[in-house]
Amino acid sequence: MKYIPCMARTSRPGCLLLHGFTGAPFEMEPLAGALRKRGFALSLPLLAGHGGSVEELDRAGWEDWTGTALRAFDELAARCSPVFAAGLSMGGSLCLELALRRPVAGLACLATPLRLYRLAPWTGKDPLLPFVPLLRRFRPIWPVARKSEESRRIAPWQGCEGAMPLNALHSLMQGLAGLRPRLGQITAPLLAVHCPTDRSVNARNAFELARRVGSRIKRLGFLEICETVTGHHLLTTHQETRGPLAALVADFFCTLLSRDGAVPV
């Protein structure tokens, strides 16, 4: 892919990078490296509740994660202009929420869910997802399998493993439900990237996102993954997609930057 350098500016552009549910800023590092080379100042916050125990994460929710994103954006905007946002999975959903509350110059939503499942036709990672509102009342910390070593080698990851915090998961589902009706209010330029065989967040989400946002500038891209070990979700660290994805995002943001520093709206 052709390298597109960012133009010289009077103020350095910034980018907020948001990790996914149960994850960590680690999963955004490959993208961060590409953006640093293009001259972006970066912020990679740890979302509320993450980085500790699964019980701590289970006490956090959508508004807590949104609060982390808002504070990080404001801190970055105080020293950079314009400010972009990119997020993986739930991080991309939070970027959309952020764009409803702040003047984000451009969005990159990567393997981003608008919903975690559909009933007809069924699309979802786990058939128990529709029962989360009930199950969380009886067993809020739900055991799940850990990633295999082979999976970690192919798509490195750090975060909360071995259990799923159902109260936090329920809050995510509620947050997405509240986000969907407001997507038409989003006008920031949008890049949505997904893997067609993503087993965690169905690729239908990318089509729905591109269709429903009010942005004048929209780009929809798909990156294929051939191996059969992982869930094809961690686009930012997966050995088959991390390079192409970083180039896509960096190129998109840089094309939004004009010579005088203005961003098309």
pLDDT digits (tens, 9 = 90+) for 93-121: 999 999 999 999 999 999 999 999 999 88
pTM: 0.93
Question: Which pLDDT does position 11 carry in this prediction?
Answer: 78
Range of the domain at 42: 14-256
66 located within any domain:
yes
- The average pLDDT across 71-95 equals 97
Q: What is the CATH number of the domain that holds 228?
A: 3.40.50.1820
Tell me if 3 is assigned to some domain: no
Q: Model confidence at 258, in pLDDT bands (50, 70, 90)?
A: low
Residue 261 has pLDDT above 60, yes or no: no
Asked if the structure places residue 264 within a domain, the reply is no
Total domains present in the chain? 1
Is 102 or 261 the better-scoring residue by pLDDT? 102
**109: amino acid identity, one letter:** C
Residue 31 has pLDDT above 50, yes or no: yes
Per-residue burial over 18-53, b if 16 or more Cβ lie within 10 Å, else e, is bbbbbbbbbbbbbbbebbeebebebbbbebbbbeee
List, as one string, the DSSP characters of 68-91. HHHHHHHHHHTT-SSEEEEEETHH
Q: pLDDT digits over 118-159, tens only?
A: 998 899 999 999 999 999 999 999 999 999 999 999 999 999
The confidence score (pLDDT) of residue 1 equals 39
Q: Is residue 4 part of a domain?
A: no
Helices 90-101 and 62-77, packing angle to 10 deg: 60
Q: In what order do the strands lie in the sheet with 190-194?
A: 41-43, 14-18, 83-88, 107-110, 190-194, 218-222
Q: What is the mean pLDDT of the chain?
A: 93
